[in-house]
């Protein structure tokens, strides 16, 4: 009898291929080491979302920027209780407040939110006012 989760497949995906033994991660056919330091955030998002069809914005950089501005409204909920949490727990709490839809607008907001929320949380922890995106 095998112990642990050896040989157990938890899910199948076209997004990535993980070979833990070889220390290799492939994202939509490109090795992570080929993307790192070369591809910007929007390029990697476009690669991951390439099969979303006509819903994928043609200018992903602008769409993510607009999503960051929308997410900024959630900073109003950044109270002392959230600031007192660890940054990761505060981020989780703020992310949980986002709408859980299956459309492109929701995907853009969820993708844009960590950058906005993390910066705001860390600035508030230092007693500073969060900066608008």
Phi, psi of 40 (to 5 degrees): -80, 175
CA distance to 55, 72, 83, 102, 113, per residue, from 116 (Å):
23, 7, 14, 21, 5
Residue 6, pLDDT > 80, answer no
* Spatial distance between the Cα atoms of 72 and 117, rounded to a whole number of angstroms: 8
Q: Is residue 2 part of a domain?
A: no
Rg (CA), the chain: 18
Domain that holds residue 33: 16-125
pLDDT at residue number 84: 93
Which of 3-12, 31-40, 43-52, 90-99 shows the lowest mean pLDDT across its residues? 3-12
pLDDT the model gives residue 118: 93
94 HSE (CA, 13 A, CB side)? 32
Residue 6, domain member (yes or no):
no
Q: Compute, in degrees rounded to 10, the torsion defined by CA atoms 57, 58, 59, 61.
A: 50
Greater model confidence, 8 or 29: 29
Tally of domains within the chain: 1
pLDDT in tens, 55-64: 789 899 999 9
Against a cut of 0.95, is the pTM above it?
Answer: no
């Amino acid at each position: 009898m095998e112990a642990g989760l050896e040989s157990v497949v938890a899910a199948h995906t076209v997004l990535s291929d993980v070979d833990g033994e070889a220390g290799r991660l492939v994202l939509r056919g490109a090795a992570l080491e080929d993307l790192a330091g070369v591809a910007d955030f929007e390029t990697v998002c476009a690669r991951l979302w390439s099969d979303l069809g006509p819903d994928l914005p043609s200018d992903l950089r602008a769409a993510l920027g607009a999503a960051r501005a929308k997410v900024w409204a959630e900073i109003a909920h950044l109270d002392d209780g959230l600031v007192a949490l660890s940054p990761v727990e505060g981020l989780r709490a703020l992310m949980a407040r986002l709408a859980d839809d299956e459309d492109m607008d929701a995907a853009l907001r969820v993708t844009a939110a960590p950058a906005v929320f993390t910066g705001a949380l860390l600035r508030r922890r230092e007693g500073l006012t969060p900066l608008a995106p």
